[in-house]
């Protein structure tokens, strides 16, 4: 069956609201490579939107899933529990950079993790308010859309949104938003919208994902922690896209040794392609909801839990944090030396790297980013765009990508960039 035949079926059977980037259809994948119906090969620098830090079908992950399938597929942990759920919680509790003893609970999607983190924060503080940031992406459900700081395409036509949610500025030196501007925007919320004594949590991404891979400066994170401590507000780090070795550390929050969040949300690369998310946090905060207040029918699915245990082993055994830094350094050098006139900035940590493009007048240029993405795809390299202005290309290759394949992809990328 051809890609075009499947494409016609998709357009007929699925709604336009499910936006699809590629016009080909995957039939097979291995590590950093995808194949379509025509047998064409693609190098995957998207990794299912940062889900496959350990690559497509890592042998250890596949083996763990198969072993679990031979035992049972589902019981609902809240009805009949299973030990693997507890084992994974114990491992994450050892690693998450929160103060004191940690506890962890599991869900299915990143949006579920964020929603439950907000529930936990509200239960722990008895307060309704939540502050998020411009450019943030926290999910597509009603609550998480309320937190998300980008209108098109995510919020268009879906309001009104959840109440008691407010947005402050996120620091962005390239676009002139300084720390002083960020802190003033927070104070403006306290003056005009909600008192700090009514705010349950401030949620931020240590590196914004959809917002354009904007890295949180240390002074910004320090200021958030101080503000939260001053007013009894909980600090939530959304590590859904930046977690599990992507940035060169298991969690991006580790780059801020003087700051420990109260809650951390995670998903994506946690389970190597299986649907699993989690909320970890300080034990006394996590225990705030009553029994039955947290959970879900598929929350902590046994095959996904098994996959996540294998992912943590792979990250450690293959030293993927160090590899993220090595690959990221090579990518940054390629981007900066390609001679791309439209390149305004390269930023990120480890292998969570992005390139932002501007036009000749210095304004954000989505057309350039899209042109580079399209040319790369035509040459078998899958890239993703992002950013509030859609003018950023983000690079999310599996950290397990073979060296030769990575070098070939960078050579191809450099040639495309040189044309712009």
Residue 358 DSSP label: B
The CA distance from 281 to 287, in Å, is: 10
Q: Supply angle C-alpha 192, 196, 202, rounded to 5.
A: 105
Confidence of residue 158 (pLDDT cuts 50, 70, 90): confident
| Mean pLDDT value of segment 242-249 | 98
CB atoms within 10 A of CB 259: 22
The CA distance from 282 to 56, in Å, is: 33
Q: What is the pLDDT of residue 57?
A: 98
Contacts of 195 (CB under 8 A, 6+ apart): none
Give the model confidence (pLDDT) of 114-153 as tens digits. 999 999 999 999 999 999 999 999 999 999 999 999 888 8
φ and ψ at residue 410, rounded to 5 degrees: -65, -40
- β 263-266/234-238 pair status: parallel
The CA distance from 78 to 26, in Å, is: 36
On the question of a cis peptide bond just before residue 227, with omega within 30 degrees of 0, the verdict is no
Structural tokens at position 361 = 């007048």
Q: Supply angle C-alpha 329, 333, 339, rounded to 5.
A: 160
pTM of the model: 0.96
Give the model confidence (pLDDT) of 247-269 as tens digits. 999 999 999 999 999 999 999 99
> In terms of DSSP H, where are the helices of 14-162?
47-50, 59-69, 83-95, 110-125, 142-147
Q: What is the pLDDT of residue 59?
A: 98
Please report where in the chains the tokens 């029918």 appear, as a residue. 297
Q: Do you know the residue count of the chain?
A: 420
Structural tokens at position 113 = 């993790």
How confident is the prediction for the chain on average, in pLDDT? 96
| Mean pLDDT value of segment 13-24 | 90
Domains of the chain (ranges, CATH numbers):
3-57+319-418 (3.90.1150.10), 62-317 (3.40.640.10)
Q: What is the pLDDT of residue 2?
A: 84
Residues 121 and 261: beta-carbon distance below 8 Å: no
The CA distance from 294 to 296, in Å, is: 7
Exposure string over 359-381, b if 16+ CB within 10 A, otherwise e: eeeeebbeebbebbbebbbeebb
Q: What is the pLDDT of residue 106?
A: 98
Give the model confidence (pLDDT) of 51-97 as tens digits. 999 999 999 999 999 999 999 999 999 999 999 999 999 999 999 99
Contacts of 357 (CB under 8 A, 6+ apart): 340, 342, 343, 344, 364, 365, 368, 369, 372, 391, 392, 393, 420
Residue 239 has pLDDT above 90, yes or no: yes
Residue 1 has pLDDT above 90, yes or no: no
Confidence of residue 4 (pLDDT cuts 50, 70, 90): confident
Residue 159 has pLDDT above 90, yes or no: no
| Mean pLDDT value of segment 271-294 | 98
Strands (E), 252-370: 263-266, 277-282, 343-349, 352-357
Tell me the chain's radius of gyration from C-alpha atoms.
21
| Residue (of 247, 201, 258, 189) closest to 228 by Cα position | 201
Residues 253 and 204: beta-carbon distance below 8 Å: no
Give the model confidence (pLDDT) of 344-382 as tens digits. 999 999 999 999 999 999 999 999 999 999 999 999 999
Give the model confidence (pLDDT) of 184-235 as tens digits. 999 999 999 999 999 999 999 999 999 999 999 999 999 999 999 999 999 9
DSSP element (H, E) containing 285 = helix 283-286
- 221 to each of 18, 22, 70, 112, 134, how far by Cα in Å? 35, 37, 45, 24, 15
């Amino acid at each position: 069956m051809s890609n075009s035949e499947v494409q016609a079926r998709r357009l007929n059977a699925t709604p336009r609201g499910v936006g699809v980037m590629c016009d080909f259809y995957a039939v097979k994948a291995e590590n950093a490579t995808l194949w379509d119906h025509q047998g064409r090969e693609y190098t995957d620098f998207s990794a299912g939107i940062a889900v496959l830090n350990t690559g497509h079908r890592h042998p250890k992950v596949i083996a763990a899933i198969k072993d679990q399938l031979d035992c049972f597929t589902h019981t609902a942990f809240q009805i009949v529990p299973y030990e693997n759920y507890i084992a994974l919680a114990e491992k994450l509790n050892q690693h998450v950079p929160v103060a004191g003893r940690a506890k962890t609970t599991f869900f299915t999607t990143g949006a579920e993790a964020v929603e439950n983190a907000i529930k936990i924060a509200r239960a722990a503080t008895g307060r309704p308010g939540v502050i998020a940031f411009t450019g943030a992406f926290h999910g597509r459900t009603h609550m998480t859309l309320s937190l998300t700081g980008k209108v098109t395409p995510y919020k268009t036509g879906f309001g009104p949104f959840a109440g008691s949610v407010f947005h402050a500025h996120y620091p962005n030196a390239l676009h002139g938003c300084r720390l002083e501007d960020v802190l003033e925007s927070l104070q403006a919320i306290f003056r005009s919208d909600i008192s700090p004594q009514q705010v349950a949590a401030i949620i931020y991404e240590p590196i914004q994902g959809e917002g354009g891979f904007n890295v949180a400066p240390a002074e910004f994170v320090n200021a958030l922690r101080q503000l939260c401590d001053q007013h009894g507000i909980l600090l939530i780090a959304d590590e859904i896209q930046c977690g599990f070795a992507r940035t060169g550390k298991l969690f991006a929050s580790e780059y801020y040794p003087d700051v420990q969040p109260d809650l951390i949300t995670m998903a994506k690369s946690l389970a190597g392609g299986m649907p699993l998310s989690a909320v970890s946090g300080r034990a006394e905060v996590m225990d705030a909801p009553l029994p039955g207040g947290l959970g879900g029918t598929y929350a902590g699915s046994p095959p996904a839990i098994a996959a996540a245990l294998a992912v943590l082993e792979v990250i450690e055994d293959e030293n993927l944090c160090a590899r993220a830094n090595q690959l990221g350094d090579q990518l940054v050098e390629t981007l900066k030396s390609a001679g791309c006139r439209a390149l305004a900035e390269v930023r990120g940590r480890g292998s969570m790297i992005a390139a932002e493009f501007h036009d000749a007048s210095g304004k954000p240029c989505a057309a350039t980013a899209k042109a580079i993405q399209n040319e790369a795809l035509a040459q078998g390299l899958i890239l993703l765009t992002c950013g509030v202005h859609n003018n950023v290309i983000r690079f999310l290759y599996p950290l397990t990508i073979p060296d030769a394949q990575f070098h070939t992809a960078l050579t191809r990328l450099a040639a495309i960039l040189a044309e712009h």
